[in-house]
Amino acid sequence: MLSLAVLISGGGSNLKALLDAAADPDFPARVVAVFADTDAEGLAHATAADIPAAIVRPRDFASREAWGDALARRIRESGADLVVSAGLMRILPAGFVRAFAPRLINTHPALLPLYPGAHAVRDALAAGAAETGVTVHVIDEGVDTGPVLRQARVAIVPGEPENELHERIKQIERPLLVATVRDIASGALELPVGASEHPITPHPHT
Ligand code: GAR
């Protein structure tokens, strides 16, 4: 059974999809902890499912790296084997990435390498693209640059507002993320082993 720590910033519909999938005893992963960087509405999904959840705010730390170190410590304490960034709207510091790579994945609302960053849906519309989509990828030290695990396409309806397109993307994204996690957990999908790989081990002080 794979243990997941899920990182969010917003509504948490991808988190909810993972929680719903994990309610099936045959699903090979469980959410063991949820962390947000802000007062994310999605924390309510964790509370409703009786999963430990906490806010770890960057502004409470002297630097981004210090925030990342604190978050990493909390994740190790949770016993998670895989970190899932599901709508975390913040770049994870390099030390954090090195601590968990490659067991650290992100879902992004575009067909990477197209439209990386915080405004992927808006950027696809602004470019006049005919299609966009979703990418689930391993996080590396760049911004949305890590190895792609799974992608799915979504056609753009001309004149469609950003929020409506994003909602249609999320309808594809949620099952894609769940399927990707299931395949990692079952061994059907192997994470690329990089030089910086570290197994996630329980924190020595727990
Ligand atoms: C998702 O579409 C996710 O791909 C995106 O935020 C949304 C979160 O939705 N993430 C990014 O744009 C990261 N660059 P949710 O809170 O309903 O799961």
Q: Tell me which residue of 162, 105, 155 sits closest to 135, measured CA to CA.
A: 105
pLDDT, position 205: 37
Cα–Cα separations (whole angstroms), residue 139 to 71, 98, 113: 16, 10, 13
Domain extent, residue 103, equals 2-191
Reported ipTM: 0.99
Write the burial class of residue 31 (CB in 10 Å: 0-12 exposed, 13-18 middle, 19+ buried).
Answer: buried
Whether the CB of 19 sits within 6 Å of ligand 1: no
Q: How confident is the model at residue 194 (pLDDT cuts 50, 70, 90)?
A: low
Position 114 in a domain: yes
Is the confidence at residue 204, as pLDDT, over 50?
no
CATH code at 93?
3.40.50.170
Binding-site residue set: 12-14, 64, 89-92, 106
Position 204 in a domain: no
pLDDT, position 183: 98
Position 129 in a domain: yes
The atom of ligand 1 lying closest to the CA of 8 is 16
Q: How confident is the model at residue 193 (pLDDT cuts 50, 70, 90)?
A: confident
pLDDT, position 203: 39
Q: Over the stretch 137-160, which tens digit does the pLDDT of each residue have?
A: 999 999 999 999 999 999 999 999
Mean pLDDT over 71-100 rounds to 97
Position 196 in a domain: no
Is the confidence at residue 86, as pLDDT, over 50?
yes
Q: Which residues sit opposite 132 in a β-bridge?
A: 154
Binding-site residue set for (6R)-10-formyltetrahydrofolate: 64, 89-92, 106
- pTM of the predicted model as reported, rounded to 2 decimal places: 0.93
pLDDT, position 157: 96
Specify whether 137 is catalytic: no
One-letter identity of residue 140:
D
Position 82 in a domain: yes
Q: Tell me which residue of 65, 19, 78, 76 sits closest to 45, measured CA to CA.
A: 19
As for how many domains the chain has, the answer is 1
Question: Of residues 108, 119, 166, 205, which has the active-site annotation?
Answer: 108
Position 96 in a domain: yes
What share of the chain has pLDDT > 90, as a percent? 93
Q: How confident is the model at residue 200 (pLDDT cuts 50, 70, 90)?
A: very low
Position 202 in a domain: no
Whether the CB of 173 sits within 6 Å of ligand 1: yes
Position 58 in a domain: yes
